[in-house]
A and B are shown apart, each in its own frame.
Chain A
Amino acid sequence: MSTALFVSSATVAVEGRKLIDAVDLRLESGTVTAVIGPNGAGKSTLLAVAAGQLRPTSGTVHLGSRESHKVPAAEAARRRAVMPQDSGVAFAFTVREVVEMGRTPWRKVRSDHAAAVDDALELTGLTALAERDITTLSGGERQRAALARVIAQATPVAEGSVILLDEPTSAMDVAHAEATLGLMRTLASRGAAVGVVLHDLDAAASYADSLVLLQHGRVRASGRVSSVCDAEVLSQVYGTPVEVLDVAGRLRVGPVRPARAA
């Protein structure tokens, strides 16, 4: 197992306020790492730093063995694909055209674009919507199109590939959310290092190999799922009772909900 992306002691300060403070994030090839934490904890900031979209005020980001900002843009994009929170597209491109945009960094080095795009469409269940105008799709469908674009960009997945997803399932229905989370595991099994911001604690506990729990811009806990999923710590961080149950050997994590008469 090797480190595909390493954010080391990153601090991002805006007008004196630290959005993240000396945060480490290590993404290993073949694994899924979920970043969790309450609103405003710095999850998206950390992901933007990892994505190379935001230069940290201090600290470093390594993509493979090199510093991220020293890797030429196209080469960096071949190794690292990023799905943003906002999946809006300004013009009426078809879904296929949007997914094809994911092939941009590969234009000069490969020619198997059609196959990569078809695969990405199929993996996200968008084959039937491929020729639809993306601006007419629902939020969840657009999110899947953004995911398909990211998969097309990450193809071929190889050792060292990094895939970053910022709340990829936030607008999806249960079936597509589960399919997306499963897809993350598939990509990891092909060798990618997946970093994902998730709000759903149970999804994070079920699908990730390791967790990074952020609070007020700092890492409150990180490591294996079982070590981070501590009911007391999670309850304190989120400010609401959170329970961690062992159901037949699998952790179920979520808020404690009131009992009601059926």
Chain B
Amino acid sequence: MTAAQDTAPAQEKPEQEAVPDGAGAGSGRASASAGRTARSPRRSRRGLRAGIAAAVLTAALLVVVLISASLGQFSTTPAQVLESIGRVLFGGADPIDNRVDAALWTIRFPRTLLALLVGACLAVAGTVMQGLFANPLAEPSIIGVSSGASVGACIAIVFGFSATAPWTLPAGAFAGALVITGVVWALSRSGGRAVVLTLVLTGIAINAVAGAATSFLVFMGDTSSREQIIFWQMGTLSGATWEGVGVTAVVFALGLIGCLALRSRLDVLALGDRSAAASGIDVEKLRVVAILLVCFMTGVAVAFAGVIAFVGLIVPHALRLIVGPSHRYLVPLSALGGAVLLGLADIAARTVIPFGDLPVGIFTALVGGPLFLVLLRRTLKRPGAAA
């Protein structure tokens, strides 16, 4: 390896710092020669990339909102959307006074906003989960969030609670997510600590049991509740309401603040639990807090939009390729990235089949499945990565 030869002379080579950056560029070793300067070009390059990514994603987010709000059975132009926003938000007009405003403010805006919030929740939760497990293939579903939510939602549907009180569906899903995650957590602790491997294996076992419970409930249910369960499990944003948007927004905002507070500590977990602990981090406490945040953010997303796979897996991974693995950038950017991704998926779900509303989970899984395989193969090939 040529890199090994580079290092020996570096010890007594401060004069190298005086060499202009351009000198090394032609040799194809630009990064190594730039690395000798006192500043940290890679760091600032990653910072620059993060800034660009944030700008691009924010612009994309605005475009997605405009397109998403313009498309539908009642066709509007982006200009009409902007006009309507101005009229209702700033002009104080009542949205039900005119047909454009009514369509936008009662159906499309809640749906679009829910898509963005759910995508952001799932992506941030996925990022934190991957950091927490120091594993790029980790997903919130391993700790039982999705399977627990399914059980809760099925109970609400099959026993007819959701028919009389619609709010019991998200409430049941959310409660199920919390309960099953709690069970996984409690069972994976031994001697006061939860080890990652035990947590994953316990998750597999409990997910299987929860899956069986879901199947049993589907078996018990009548035809209409079966249909409702199936659509819920495919992930759909069609039932979006302002109440749902409000609850999701509050949980997302609190969750994001919490995750931002944890982000520098999440970086250190990449060294492994023992080294992180030796660096002064209370790994156990960090894990409890982070799993709670993940559970709340994923739980609320699943509760209002059903099971939407792979957003939490893909977004952090794609961003890591662009801005590096530091959670300083990864956590806020994944919120933007997840929002854009699910916003786009929802646009696709609404437009691919005319007048048909496909479950959005189909699109995320369609993109996510193959990408997961690619990631898996890349990870297997990487020699230096910790198992």
Contact = CB atoms under 8 A, between A and B. Distances in A.
B135 interface: yes
Contact of A89 (B31, B270, B320, B326): B270
Nearest to A103: B279
A8 interface: no
B281 interface: yes
Contacts of A141: 3-4, 7
Contacts of A53: 274, 277-278
| B1, B43, B279: residue with the most chain A Cβ atoms closer than 10 Å | B279
Contacts of A101: 267-268, 271, 279
Contacts of A88: 272, 384-387
A128 B35 CA distance: 6
A218 interface: no
B320 A91 contact: yes
B280 A84 contact: no
B280 A73 contact: yes
B202 to A, nearest CB: 21
Interface in B264-300: 264-265, 267-272, 274-275, 277-282
B278 A128 contact: no
A122 B11 contact: yes
B40 interface: yes
Nearest to B131: A91
B86 to A, nearest CB: 44
B42 interface: yes
Nearest to B36: A128
B370 to A, nearest CB: 22
Interface residues of B, number: 48
A93 B268 contact: no
Contact of B384 (A51, A94, A130, A142): A142
Given A82-B275, A94-B43, A131-B31, A73 B270 contact: no
A107 to B, nearest CB: 8
Contacts of B376: none
B35 A131 contact: yes
A90 B278 contact: no
A132 B272 CA distance: 20
A77 B281 CA distance: 9
Contacts of B277: 52-53, 73
Contacts of A89: 270-271, 384-386
B320 to A, nearest CB: 7
Given A90-B385, A131-B42, 8 more contacts: A82-B274, A89-B384, A93-B270, A97-B324, A101-B268, A130-B42, A138-B3, A141-B4
Interface of A: 48, 51-53, 73-78, 80-82, 84, 86, 88-94, 96-98, 101-102, 104-105, 107, 118, 122, 125-132, 134-138, 140-142, 146, 149, 153, 173, 175
9 contacts: A53-B274, A94-B43, A126-B7, A129-B35, A131-B32, A131-B35, A131-B42, A136-B384, A138-B4
Interface of B: 1, 3-4, 6-8, 10-11, 13, 31-32, 34-36, 38, 40-43, 134-136, 264-265, 267-272, 274-275, 277-282, 320, 324-326, 382-387
